[in-house]
Amino acid sequence: MATTDRQATTLALAHALSAAERGLAVIPLSRTKLPALRSPHRDDPAPSPCHGECGRPGHGVYDASSDPDRIREMFAAAPWATGYGIACGLPPHHLIGVDLDVKTGTDSSAALRELALRHLFTIPPTVVVLTPSGGRHLWLSGPPEVVVPNSAGRLAPGIDIRGAGGYLVGPGSRTGQGVYAAAPGTAHLAPAPCPRSLLRLLIPPPRAHHPASAPAGGHGHGLVQFVLAAHEGQRNTRLFWAACRAYEDGIGPALADALADAATGTGLSEREARATIASAARLTGHRP
């Protein structure tokens, strides 16, 4: 058994290094699909908000790296690792994972096809990873200025999304359920760009009330206020969502400057703000 585990660790490291060559940041995983390295703060009297600033390993996806030496160090510190996780949302691919789960009474593949028909998009050829339970992971690439959050079942039952702060179990990983493997003919592909209509579904609506039935002026003011209320970590997402709504409502060009000013007021640079607004314009079929 020990020999088998050592072989699994060696294979997992080899696959992780191969993924890193493609620009993907990885961490070692245990057979439970959880990060193999435990938090260095687990015995602290109070929870720590540390995301790796302490310099010690054990911060989950925040440890993810594409540096071969760093990856070897992590696996050396976790000789029980039998798999690896691929961090989502990081450059250069800004990976988005569409996890089509298999549950009793749930056909997640059919649900995705229904969404595609309803919202007029198709999934282009991309990397597909087959899970031991019979599910599939679709790898898509998102635009750098858009932060896609993790979600479970929000799009439809059985469809989970792995975005910023999440990770996907990499092909070649061995877990307690079995081995993850790339679907035939997809291993060589790069993550395909996420279809625009699907990307819009992945950005959650704001929790704050926005006056959809208000006249353009009031609606525009509500969108600007929505951007102004952004905290660090959600500034780009809020700006992108607000800009999409503005362009859809026909007030995008008139509101672009106000949205950019609001975004810079929250800490974004002028360049970042303008790039995000331009991306929203393109996504909604308008010229920036």
> What's the pLDDT score for residue 48?
62
Q: Please tell me which of 14-23, 145-154, 236-245 the model is most confident about, judged by mean pLDDT.
A: 14-23
Q: Which of 61, 48, 176, 192 is nearest to 121 (CA)?
A: 192
Say which range, 1-10, 13-22, 71-80, 260-269, has the weakest mean pLDDT.
1-10
pLDDT band at 205 (very low <50, low <70, confident <90, very high): low
**Inside any domain, residue 202:** no
Look at residue 38 and tell me whether its pLDDT is greater than 50.
yes
CA-to-CA distance for 89 and 49, rounded, in angstroms? 20
Q: Which residues contact 107 (CB under 8 A, 6 or more apart)?
A: 158
142 and 131 within one domain: yes
**Inside any domain, residue 112:** yes
- Domain end marker among 68, 87, 106: 87
Residue with the larger pLDDT of the pair 221 and 34: 34
106 and 80 within one domain: no
93 and 83 within one domain: no
> What's the pLDDT score for residue 4?
58
**Inside any domain, residue 288:** no
User: Using an 8 Å Cβ cutoff, are 190 and 229 in contact?
Assistant: no
- Domain end marker among 87, 122, 150: 87
Looking at residues 61-88, what average pLDDT do you find?
96
81 and 98 within one domain: no
Looking at every residue in the chain, the average pLDDT score rounds to: 87
102 and 186 within one domain: yes
- Give this prediction's pTM: 0.73
Q: What is the DSSP string of 167-208?
A: EEEPTT-B-SS-B-EEPTTTTTPPPEEPPHHHHHHHSPPPSS
81 and 8 within one domain: yes
**Inside any domain, residue 208:** no
The pLDDT tens digits of the residues spanning 144-164 come to 888 898 888 888 889 999 998
261 and 187 within one domain: no
Looking at residues 97-116, what average pLDDT do you find?
89
- Domain end marker among 71, 87, 103: 87
139 and 107 within one domain: yes
pLDDT band at 104 (very low <50, low <70, confident <90, very high): low
Taking the CA atoms of 100, 102, 103 and 106 in sequence, report the sign of the dihedral they define.
positive
Share of the chain above pLDDT 90, in %: 52
**Inside any domain, residue 246:** yes
Range of the domain at 81: 1-87
User: Using an 8 Å Cβ cutoff, are 157 and 99 in contact?
Assistant: no
183 and 272 within one domain: no
> What's the pLDDT score for residue 209?
39
Say which range, 7-11, 51-55, 192-196, 214-218, has the weakest mean pLDDT.
214-218
**Inside any domain, residue 200:** no
Look at residue 103 and tell me whether its pLDDT is greater than 90.
no
> What's the pLDDT score for residue 210?
41
Number of folded domains in the chain?
A: 3
User: Using an 8 Å Cβ cutoff, are 247 and 280 in contact?
Assistant: yes
pLDDT band at 1 (very low <50, low <70, confident <90, very high): very low
